[in-house]
Structure 1
């Protein structure tokens, strides 16, 4: 009901209909008044002439004759008024229906350029900056609006293209010296005469170097996720979750964390590389910010219109008001627990990739410590499809990982 009430075409049609109904009603009322006055005047003259030559019967007095003539006059007036009101009302109703239909049609024609602008805006919201309105219409307000919108899209397209070139150049410029530093450190450590202090320093430098490489990769993934998703094809997130979990197994064993899985086939349409990176970040984040002997549970669920990825873990106790900040860049649990692992971009990348696929990601604290992160991805890749609205994730009641 609210959607129809906010529809501009419906509102214009209702306005047209009400205006016609008020105008038609006013005309009908005016006709009734004018006909009534004209008939009153004409019949007054007619009955006055008739009475002047009238000779009442012997059984009727002049007063009775006048009353009979007045009753006849009133009967004729009432009959004409009722006939005019009935037939005029039917004509007004038929014309009102036709006028309402015409108003609907005219409103649609008038609003067609705005519908084109709206459809283009929806495609832009679907991460497609290459569409233009190209409205063919005489100069006017709507034509000016469409041309301004096209000009804005041109500038946005150029800006995003420049951003993509900058990201590619920055990746090359940042990764080259880091790779060179890693090579130099490894060469220095491999020399036979290297003292133990050099080996210790080299290991520390390699750890810092590795962290910087992960940070750069995370930044590039985040930037790519917030840009257009150009490659879309059908992919099973359960398979991607299997690959991501297998990749994280070695890290989980080193940290003493067990990874459990419950992976049901859940096909979606999207970028496989970005989706795999998203799931890997989820599992990696849940593994790193855990406790010794803890666990991580990975689940995929297929719904009629979307697929769900749920990752829960043990870990530090988190307050519900702290959860929204975890999706912000460079905000991580290590700010409270004192660990230096991670870049603070894991959940930011998760949400960015999900929203790039018209989905979303939410999290709630798990009772006893840890998080339950839920990602929903729509199964339709249509650019005009509505984005998925994600309800808050529910904490898992179990205290052991799935096997």
Structure 2
């Protein structure tokens, strides 16, 4: 089986939902600065009032004629004034501080609203939707310049991808047309009555090479289509697709003496039926083609914790874990180890591209004793058992 590279779980590290929030940090800074400033003002007010009261009391209770009782009265007045000022001033600072922090939360949210709009657009673009634009309606400023520069970059990217799609379509047509003509000419020549056996054998080899080239072009087109935005999404069950693909692969598996087993539980998702069928076909065909004679493969569908899953396990050559990421890339094969020269090196690259285009992923791990296990996870269809468990 052509190994598929495995990647670590892209899920974010566990943490509090507000951790890293710029709005929360701005609000905290606003509140902290207000409380520091208010505390400084209150301390200054206490000092000023104390000095003023001290001066006034010195006039009322002249130091030259003050008695012990006057000094005690003066001390009581000063302590009462200080406590009263600190208590009421502290409560005032606290109430106004809470109101100021709330206002800071609201103001920071409004100031950051353009950034949220830019982030939302970027997230939609990350989902392969290059036709959207920010189109920020604000007066000229730093944020407006950032949004306009982002829109200009999207215009260039959209034009580049559109040109790439046109090139792929034209190249596919130009490449497949001569192959079809060559296949037709060879078949016509081989069907003539006076063709020598050597010529028929040569024609058979030419047809095999021609068929391989056609499959390579089809695989490249599938890979290019999988990396583009999906336009056809329908509810479907991966178990049904797997059953049809396994039945179609039966003759090839019998020829290679590979025993096939299946454990197909409902695995409902939403996606492009053609691309998902190609994904499963690549998994099963690779599992047969890169198996050992007399080996076995097993296809399993289920609802996992993260969605609908299809898993294909086969026997074969021993593959080290560090070799799997290398073989994630197109046209990378272990020809001398697992006999993958018969393939194009695109099988599991297509699997990953299709899975990621549907919002899922594909991982591979070596099987103890030889072979590989490839697991594809796709978002569960809303209302399915898997979705309810999530």
Identify whether the pair has TM-score above 0.5, normalized to the shorter chain: yes
Query: Number of residue pairs matched?
Result: 368
Output one character per residue of 1:96-126: Cα deviation in whole Å (capped at 9) or x when no partner: 1101110000000000000000000110111
Tell me which moved more, 138-147 or 301-310.
301-310
Task: Map residues 136-285 of structure 1 onto 2, 5 A cutoff.
Answer: 136-285=137-286
Query: Quick check: 1:16 aligned with 2:30?
Result: yes
Residue 398 of structure 1 is matched in structure 2 by: none
Q: CA deviation at 1:270?
A: 1.4
Gaps of 5+ in 1: 53-64, 382-403
Gaps of 5+ in 2: 1-14, 383-390
Residue 42 of structure 1 is matched in structure 2 by: 56
Residue 5 of structure 1 is matched in structure 2 by: 19
**Aligned 8 A contact 2:287 2:313 in 1:** yes
Query: Quick check: 1:287 aligned with 2:301?
Result: no
**Aligned 8 A contact 2:258 2:295 in 1:** yes
Q: 1:339 to 1:230 in 2, by over 3 A?
A: closer
Output one character per residue of 1:26-67: Cα deviation in whole Å (capped at 9) or x when no partner: 111111111111111111111118x74xxxxxxxxxxxx722
Q: CA deviation at 1:127?
A: 1.1
Q: CA deviation at 1:243?
A: 2.1
Residue 399 of structure 1 is matched in structure 2 by: none
Output one character per residue of 1:4-26: Cα deviation in whole Å (capped at 9) or x when no partner: 23111111111101111111111
Residue 359 of structure 1 is matched in structure 2 by: 360
Q: CA deviation at 1:219?
A: 0.8
Tell me which moved more, 231-240 or 113-122.
231-240
Q: CA deviation at 1:143?
A: 0.6
Write the distance in 1 (CA, Å) between the matches of 2:243 and 2:33: 64
Task: Map residues 61-210 of structure 1 onto 2, 5 A cutoff.
Answer: 66-210=67-211
Output one character per residue of 1:172-227: Cα deviation in whole Å (capped at 9) or x when no partner: 11111111111111111100000000110011111111111111111111111111
SS in structure 2 at match of 1:369: coil
Q: CA deviation at 1:380?
A: 6.2
**Aligned 8 A contact 1:289 1:333 in 2:** no
**Aligned 8 A contact 2:114 2:143 in 1:** yes
TM-score (norm 1): 0.88
Q: CA deviation at 1:3?
A: 4.7
Write the distance in 1 (CA, Å) between the matches of 2:279 and 2:336: 22
SS in structure 1 at match of 2:373: strand
Residue 29 of structure 1 is matched in structure 2 by: 43
Q: CA deviation at 1:166?
A: 1.0
Q: CA deviation at 1:338?
A: 4.2
**Aligned 8 A contact 1:5 1:11 in 2:** no
Q: 1:304 to 1:362 in 2, by over 3 A?
A: closer
Write the distance in 2 (CA, Å) between the matches of 1:380 and 1:6: 31
Residue 326 of structure 2 is matched in structure 1 by: 325
Write the distance in 1 (CA, Å) between the matches of 2:306 and 2:369: 33
Give 1 or 2 for the bigger CA radius of gyration: 1
Residue 342 of structure 1 is matched in structure 2 by: 343
Q: CA deviation at 1:154?
A: 1.2
Tell me which moved more, 145-154 or 244-253.
244-253
Write the distance in 2 (CA, Å) between the matches of 1:151 and 1:248: 48
Q: CA deviation at 1:162?
A: 1.1
Write the distance in 1 (CA, Å) between the matches of 2:211 and 2:202: 14
Q: 1:276 to 1:86 in 2, by over 3 A?
A: same
Q: CA deviation at 1:302?
A: 1.3
SS in structure 2 at match of 1:32: helix
Output one character per residue of 1:53-105: Cα deviation in whole Å (capped at 9) or x when no partner: xxxxxxxxxxxx72221111111110111011001111100011101110000
Task: Map residues 355-394 of structure 1 onto 2, 5 A cutoff.
Answer: 355-379=356-380
Of structures 1 and 2, the one with the larger relative CO (CA 8 A, separation 6+) is: 2
Write the distance in 2 (CA, Å) between the matches of 1:339 and 1:10: 54
Tell me which moved more, 217-226 or 108-117.
217-226
Tell me which moved more, 116-125 or 331-340.
331-340
Residue 385 of structure 1 is matched in structure 2 by: none
Residue 5 of structure 2 is matched in structure 1 by: none
Write the distance in 1 (CA, Å) between the matches of 2:285 and 2:217: 16
Residue 9 of structure 2 is matched in structure 1 by: none
RMSD: 1.5
